[in-house]
Structure formats: structure tokens, C-alpha cells
Amino acid sequence: MTDLQTDEPRVLAKTDEVPDAYVRPFYLEDLKRRVAVVRVGGALHAFDDLCTCGGTPCSLASGLLDGTTLMCQCHGSRWDVVTGAVERGPATGPLRKYEATEADGKIRATVSAT
């Protein structure tokens, strides 16, 4: 992957690599960060792939998706992937969301550096 300005959408995957009701992580080497992309009801949502509980870091992509609710497998926290809001703790912070789009058979996300 080439380095891009962080305010530019970057290609993360081909359209068929993120099916409906599936969460997929992507490592952004230039930012040293993992971003998860989920498709729910045909809509794409992108967010940082780490639990916001502040404890041991845990990938949210390996969590349980039930409708629009994503549960952390390590801590049991739950978020709404559409809004990013915490539905149940111990996490107190929302998911850090990014704009995700789909065009020309590719999924793109605009991910900020901070």
C-alpha cells in the first residue's frame, strides 16, 4: 500500500471481500493502525479495530455481530456500528468511525492520522 494523505479515501478491499453481516480488519501500515469494516444491510461502516474499554487491547473484528450491535469478545462491551455509540460497558468511549464508501468494485475509507 502506498502512503496517502490521511484526508484522502484509501482502498481497503474489493467489494466481495466484505460480505453482509461480516466484520473484516485491515492493517494500515503507514498509520500503524487497524481499521475494521462491517457491512450491515448493505451499508458499510468503518471504525478503529480496538475495544475502547481501556484495558487489554482486543480486536473488535473478532467480536460477535448481531444486527448492528458488535460485542467485544474480550470484555463484553457492545457498540452500535452505525452510530458508534456504546450500548453496554465496560467501554465508556464510542467507536472512532470513518467514512466508508463503495465504488468501482472497491471499498474505500477516509481514515485520519490522529
What are the respective helix, strand and coil percentages of the chain, to the nearest 5?
A: 5, 45, 50
Could you give the CA distance from residue 101 to residue 91 in angstroms, rounded to a whole number? Answer: 27
Residue with the bigger pLDDT between 1 and 27: it is 27
Nearest Cα residue to 95 out of 68, 106, 108, 40: 68
Task: For 73-95, write each residue's pLDDT tens digit.
Answer: 988 999 999 999 999 999 989 99
Task: For 7-41, write each residue's pLDDT tens digit.
Answer: 789 999 999 999 999 999 999 999 999 999 999 99
Q: Top-level CATH class of 14-109?
A: mainly beta
Domain extent listing, the chain: 14-109
The pTM for the full model equals 0.88
Phi, psi of 16 (to 5 degrees): -75, -5
